Amino acid sequence: MSIYLDQAATSFPKPAAVCRAMNRMVTRIGANPGRSEHKLARKANQIISETREKIALLFNISEARRVIFTCNATEAINLGLKGTLSPGDHVITSSVEHNSVIRPLKALERAGVQFSQVPCSRQGHLNLRLLKKSIGRKTKLIVLTHASNVIGSLLPIEEVGAFAHSRGILFLVDAAQTAGLVPIDVQRMHIDLLASPGHKSLYGPQGTGFLYISQEVELKPLKEGGTGTDSESYEQPEALPQRFESGTLNTPGIAGLGAGVSFVLDQGVERIWKKEQLLTQRLLKGLKKIKGIRLYGPLEAGKRVPVISFNLNFLEPVEVGFILDDLYDILVRTGLHCAPQAHRTMGTFPNGAVRVSLGFFNTPEDVDALLRALSEITRTRR
């Protein structure tokens, strides 16, 4: 069986309960939530509500209705940015953001929104002093990734949240690499908007995600349509979550997401985080011993998520990925990882890097197999 080390793209395998929950929804319930009053529709609606409540519990969200289901983190970020910002507003972000942040900001810039990128170090560390100096009279929002999907570095979300709150500035966090892995408390961290995919460290299926919207945010919907409520009105409902959930939800996916969140709650985020840190430290220690490897990002597991990028001095990243796949059955990701700004910050643009990302179901044996393969590659290909 392949050794899967591309967890930052999507987690695999999923807990067995995720597959069971989706299968039950498709084969035994199947109805459209919130559109009918019969018992199957009520059961479907109950699954949606229970998943919303589990997410609220995991992130210390006071009202579950403030959890809005989306098809991924990208949609959640677009809703958070485009629903909040207007021409003339100013936004601050970092130089290690994913295209799911940069591309919507570029589109908003063409519509009259201004944004500034605070440079991070080559190791992905955010300079808080520079961030604070970037604040202007029209600054309405700070948007940051919690952890770089390329460098792996953790950004100081709690400190930024406290500062933004003290200045009356809204704070949007992209938790694509941390939700379910690193403890997140939206109230303690003063997070106004939290965007997350369901298919990474929450162990749900692809095509799921959510946006948390705090009471401090007045948000415009990205779309209007049928919600199953206020059907007599031509206007979009004001009530949450229906205001932002037009159209039929991905109920089988949300059922799977609910099972994935239950898995995280049962295991405990702290236990998951500790296990993945141990794997990360094992990999970092081994990579540092292999000659010809350029390693990027923090060298301490506690300062990063288990996303590790590197290059070999004598091979292009895509060649390394192909050899690992073809000869060793080890699956990694190469290239720019939808984050060219992060690669510019890291000094690996335009060729990118080899990215290894670990997960809860990986083992020390997986790490050791990768290290043996890279050692062989460096000996034979140099």
**Are the C-beta atoms of 192 and 162 separated by less than 8 Å?**
no
Alpha helices by DSSP H, listed for 90-167, are 99-110, 128-133, 157-167
Q: Is the pLDDT of residue 381 over 80?
A: no
Section 289-308 average pLDDT: 95
Locate 174 and state its tokens.
Answer: 């992209």
Same domain, 313 and 250: no
Domains held by the chain: number:
2
For residue 286, report the phi and psi dihedrals to the nearest 5 degrees: -70, -40
Domain that holds residue 338: 3-12+269-381
Same domain, 8 and 28: no
Same domain, 232 and 147: yes
Locate 279 and state its tokens.
Answer: 């794997």
Supply the pLDDT for residue 21.
98
What SS3 state is found at 363?
A: coil
For residue 194, report the phi and psi dihedrals to the nearest 5 degrees: -120, 120
Q: Is the pLDDT of residue 318 over 90?
A: yes
Give the CATH number of the domain where residue 370 resides. 3.90.1150.10
Same domain, 218 and 130: yes
Supply the pLDDT for residue 195.
99
Q: Measure the CA–CA gap between 86 and 70, rounded to whole angstroms.
A: 22
Section 182-211 average pLDDT: 98
pLDDT per residue as tens digits for the range 239-298: 999 999 999 999 999 999 999 999 999 999 999 999 999 999 999 999 999 999 999 999
Share of the chain above pLDDT 70, in %: 100
Section 152-174 average pLDDT: 98
Same domain, 175 and 322: no
Q: Is 338 annotated in the active site? A: yes
Supply the pLDDT for residue 382.
64
pTM over 0.85: yes
Same domain, 255 and 303: no
Give the CATH number of the domain where residue 248 resides. 3.40.640.10
Side chain identity at residue 135, one-letter code: I
Q: Which of 267, 289, 320 is the last residue of a domain?
A: 267
Supply the pLDDT for residue 36.
84
Cα dihedral across residues 75, 78, 80, 84: positive or negative: negative
pLDDT per residue as tens digits for the range 47-79: 999 999 999 999 999 999 999 999 999 999 999
Locate 350 and state its tokens.
Answer: 């335009």
CB atoms within 10 A of CB 346: 25
Sheet of 90-94: strand order equals 67-70, 209-213, 193-197, 170-174, 139-145, 90-94, 114-118
Q: CA 361 → CA 3, 13, 190, 275, 367, distances in Å? A: 11, 7, 31, 10, 12
